[in-house]
């Protein structure tokens, strides 16, 4: 680890806000996005609340043909990556993507899409299933689709290390760049888990909060009265770069308060 690694861009699509500025504002607002689920009927489950994204439109980030080929998990992966690249003013045109890696973590990946397609299979047989199913449910689908979308030719890896998946992806990308294995990377985590079977599976093991009467107060990870986690969907991707690589293209590292205006000179 002889090279310094810096963050030069962030992309985020979450229930409390999108983009670096939007999600930062949402965090400072201190309000939970928990509410009764609208994506499906949660009546059979003890937990009936989650944090859903209401305003995500994949057509803001990709063309209609591409959007149709990708499930929600991969759509969020591509969209947050595009935000991060734009935030970092990082062009991947031509040969620029050769040394750029993609490390993306997700506990459940395209499982929700697989669940929906299984229902279609039961109703109409194999001909009723989306032809892209096999390309959507394997563990590396998000990272692979990001690499394809932006022409990135560095190492590409997806991991599924449960709740630590996003942090693992960022840590591994940091180590890769620091050791000289890449000059830059897109790294982060994405989840799109809101489907009846997946939600029900976590309800079955009583892992989720049942504070249904006060969903805005249900997410309380450090409270001694915590009764489980609040399931949510969303994603965040970072652009990590070797310091000299960033400076060579006139880009300074992001300030520690990442939701503020970017400085024009490097920070320490």
User: What is the per-residue DSSP string for 193-255?
Assistant: --SHHHHHHHHHTT-B---TT-GGG---TT-TT--SB--B-EEEEEEEEEHHHHHHTT-PPPP
Q: What is the pLDDT of residue 263?
A: 40
What average pLDDT does range 214-226 have in this prediction?
93
More confident residue, 266 or 29: 29
Q: What are 118-176's pLDDT values in tens digits?
A: 999 999 999 999 999 999 999 899 999 999 999 999 999 999 999 999 999 999 999 99
Instruction: Please give the mean pLDDT across all residues of the chain.
Output: 92
Pick from 211, 188, 226, 171: which is nearest to 9 by CA? Answer: 188
> How, if at all, do strands 184-191 and 100-105 pair?
parallel
Where do the domains of the chain lie?
5-248
Is it the case that residue 261 has pLDDT exceeding 50? no
More confident residue, 96 or 222: 222
3-class DSSP state of 17? strand
3-state SS record for 63-120: CHHHHHHCCHHHHHHHHHHHHHHHHCCCCCCHHHHCCEEEEEECCCCCHHHHHHHHHH
Q: What are 237-253's pLDDT values in tens digits?
A: 999 999 999 999 998 77
At the top level of CATH, the class of 5-248 is alpha beta
Residues of 35-58 as b/e, b for ≥16 C-beta within 10 angstroms? bebeeeebeebebbbbbbbeebeb
The Cα–Cα gap between 52 and 29 comes to 17
Whole-prediction pTM: 0.91
pLDDT class of 260 with cuts at 50, 70, 90: very low
What average pLDDT does range 27-41 have in this prediction?
94
Residues 6 or more apart in contact with residue 2 via CB below 8 angstroms: 178, 179, 180
The Cα–Cα gap between 200 and 203 comes to 5
Q: What is the pLDDT of residue 267?
A: 35
């Amino acid at each position: 680890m002889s090279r310094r690694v810096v963050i030069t861009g962030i992309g985020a699509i979450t229930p409390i806000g999108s983009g670096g500025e939007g999600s930062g504002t949402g965090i400072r607002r201190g309000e939970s996005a928990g509410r009764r689920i609208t994506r499906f009927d949660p009546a059979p489950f003890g937990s009936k609340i989650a944090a859903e994204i209401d305003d995500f439109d994949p057509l803001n980030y990709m063309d209609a043909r591409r959007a149709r080929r990708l499930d929600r998990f991969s759509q969020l992966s591509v969209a947050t990556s595009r935000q991060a690249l734009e935030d970092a003013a990082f062009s991947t045109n031509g040969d620029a993507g050769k040394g750029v890696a993609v490390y993306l973590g997700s506990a459940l990946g395209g499982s929700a899409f697989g669940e929906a397609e299984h229902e279609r299979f039961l109703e109409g047989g194999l001909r009723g299933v989306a032809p892209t199913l096999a390309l959507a449910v394997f563990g590396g689908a998000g990272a692979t689709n990001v690499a394809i979308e932006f022409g990135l030719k560095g190492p590409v890896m997806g991991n599924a290390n449960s709740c630590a998946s996003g942090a693992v992806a960022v840590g591994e990308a940091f180590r890769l760049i620091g050791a000289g294995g890449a000059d830059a990377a897109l790294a982060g985590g994405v989840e799109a888990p809101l489907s009846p079977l997946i939600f029900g599976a976590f309800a079955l093991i009583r892992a989720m909060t049942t504070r249904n009467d006060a969903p805005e107060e249900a997410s309380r990870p450090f409270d001694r009265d915590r009764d489980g986690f609040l399931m949510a969907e969303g994603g965040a991707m970072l652009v990590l770069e070797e310091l000299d690589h960033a400076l060579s293209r006139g880009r300074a590292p992001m300030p520690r308060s990442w939701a503020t205006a970017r400085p024009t000179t490097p920070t320490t």
